[in-house]
Amino acid sequence: MACFLTAPVFSLENIQLPPGFEIEEYAAVPNARSLALGANGTVFVSTRRSDKIYAIVRAEQGTNTIEIAAGLKTPNGIAFHKGDLYVAEIDRVIRYRDIEANLPDVQEGEVLSIDLPSKSHHGWRYIGFGPDDKLYIAIGAPCNICDEDGFARIDRMNPDGSDRETFASGIRNSVGFTWHPETAGLWFTDNGRDMLGDDIPADELNHASSIGQHFGYPYCHAGDLLDPSFGVGKDCTDYRAPVQKLGAHVAPLGLKFYTGEMFPEPYRGQLFIAEHGSWNRSKKVGYRISLVRLVDGKAVSYEPFVTGWLKNESASGRPVDLLVLEDGSMLVSDDRADIVYRISYNAETNEGRGNE
C-alpha cells in the first residue's frame, strides 16, 4: 500500500547561496540519504537509519513522496539502471524490475547473488552504475583504523553480480562517487580516519584514472601523512594522492559534476560535494555544499557553495547526496532535516541584487 507523506514546516532563511541562486523544499523525505533519477523523472531516495525506500513523483502541484519499500536493513545504497532500481543493504543488493511502471505498489524485489560483508561499522553501502554499465559498490573499512582483507575498497561487477573485481583499494570509507562526464573517470570522496586531532588527516577527493590503484589507507592518509601505527616502514609516494584535500572531518559524502545548463557558465563541468559535517571535532565543520573547480582535469580551488546549516555550533541540517535534474537544477538530500532541497538559478534575481 502506498504511503503519502506531508511536508514538515522548515525554514530556509539561514541558508546562504551565491547571488542569483535560490533554494526551496522539493519534498519531505524522512532520513533522506542517497538519490537516484528514474528515466521518467521519478526521484528515488534511500535511508540509513530507517528501513524504507521512497519515490518522489511529480504531481499537478509540486510533488508527492511515496513509500515504496520497507523492512530493509540500512538501505543506504540506491541506483537506477535500464528501468530497474537497485537497493544495497549492508550485506545484499536487491533489484526491483521496471520500477517506474509499478509505482506506487511495488512488488517484492529480487535478491542478487552478491556476497557482501555483514559488519555494520561503515557498512552502509553507496552504489552506482558507471558508463561501462557496471555496478560499483563501496565497501568501507569495518573500523576507524585497521587492515582487514575484503574491505576498504570499491568493487565493480555486471548488473547481475557476475564478474566481480576490485576496482580501487586503500579507501577508508567512501559514501559517494561519480564519473566525469567527458573522460568517464571515477571520482570519489573518502572520509579520513579519526582520533588524530581536530585538523588531521584531511578528508579526500580522489580520482581513479584506471583499475587497480591504491589510495593509501590504512598506511598513508591524504597523500602525505603516514599512520602512526600502520604506516611504519611505508612510503606515501607508493600510493595515489588525493586530487584535492578537503577539510578534516567535514565528512564528504555525495558528489556530482554539474552537467546542466541552468547554472552560469563558471559552474558548468565543475564538481559539487555534500559535506555531512563533523561529529568528532572540538568545533564543528562541514554541514555545507562545497565546490571544487577543475582546469584540464585538475583541481584548482576548493570553496563553499551553499552554507548556513551550521550556526553557533548547532546544525539544522546535514547534506548527504546531490542529483542534477533534467532542467539543470540540483537536488540535495538532508537526513537531519528530513528534506530534499532544490537549488536553482534565476538570472533576473541576480540582476536585481546587483542593482540594490
Q: Which pLDDT tens digit goes with each residue over 343-354?
A: 999 988 765 444
CATH at residue 84? 2.120.10.30
Alpha helices in the chain (DSSP H): 347-354
* pLDDT exceeds cutoff 50 at 333: yes
Q: Which helix (H) or strand (E) holds 26?
A: strand 21-28
Mean pLDDT value of segment 326-351: 92
Mean pLDDT value of segment 125-131: 98
Number of residues in the chain: 356
6-10, 207-211, 315-319, 339-343: which range is least confident on average? 6-10
How confident is the model at residue 351, as a pLDDT?
A: 58
The parent domain of residue 196 ranges over: 3-354
pLDDT band at 6 (very low <50, low <70, confident <90, very high): very low
Number of domains in the chain: 1
pLDDT band at 59 (very low <50, low <70, confident <90, very high): confident
pLDDT tens digits for range 176-187: 999 999 999 999
**Burial category of 355 from C-beta neighbours within 10 Å (exposed 0-12, middle 13-18, buried 19 and up):** exposed
Q: Which helix (H) or strand (E) holds 204?
A: strand 204-208
Find all residues with CB under 8 Å of 251, minimum gap 6, and list them: 191, 203, 275, 276, 277, 278, 279, 286
How confident is the model at residue 353, as a pLDDT?
A: 42
pTM of the model: 0.94
